[in-house]
Amino acid sequence: MIYHSVAEIFEAINASHDRFSQRVQELNEAQVARRSESGQWSIADITEHLAIIDEQVLMLVSKLLTRAEAEVKARSDAAIFPINPVSLQQQLEQARTQKFQSPEATRPRGGVSVTDSMARMNKARAELSALRSRLERIDLSNTSFPHPFFGKLDLYQWLAFLPAHQERHLRQIEQLVNAPEHKHQA
């Protein structure tokens, strides 16, 4: 996906979050606790991981935005700062063929309910949305921080990472839900 504005990125963030929320709310306790045959993350674990990521990206965006604002005076009028097209296409192509090992700090600890993880995600998304007007008034293309797998991402790419990452895990959830042995439990 190519984004041409912060608004477009936020639309994707919100749409992805809505799809994810709706899907996990449809599942029962047995479904969210089930693991694949290989013993990888359960749906509850995936949801906890996404809550951790949302919180960490929120802290990163807030910190980098504050730093960028200190370096460059933000526009004081209501005009929205235009951005160059933003895409993670190269990184997403790489992600399709690779399996990633989540860094220790973003791994689920377990024992957290989907409801609690979703509440954390909702809180982080609300706080991120509160930053939107500030994100729209300054050029953030030169404000970057390295991603553990994709290398240096600018702040716009970090925002675009959120829905891409959530969609990746939503596909994993669908695989878990649709696994043959899972259908007998549903």
> DSSP string of 48-88?
HHHHHHHHHHHHHHHHHHHHHHHHSPPP-SSPPPP---EE-
* Per-range mean pLDDT, top range of 21-25, 77-81, 96-100: 21-25
Whole-number mean pLDDT of the chain? 85
Domain that holds residue 57: 2-183
pTM, to two decimals: 0.83
CATH (domain of 13): 1.20.120.450
In 98-129, which positions are buried (b, 16+ CB within 10 angstroms) versus exposed (e)? eeeeeeeeeebeeebebeebbebbeebbeebe
Query: Looking at residues 138-145, what average pLDDT do you find?
Result: 88
pLDDT at 185 (0 to 100): 46
In the chain, the number of structural domains is: 1
* Per-range mean pLDDT, top range of 32-46, 91-105, 118-132: 118-132
pLDDT at 97 (0 to 100): 62
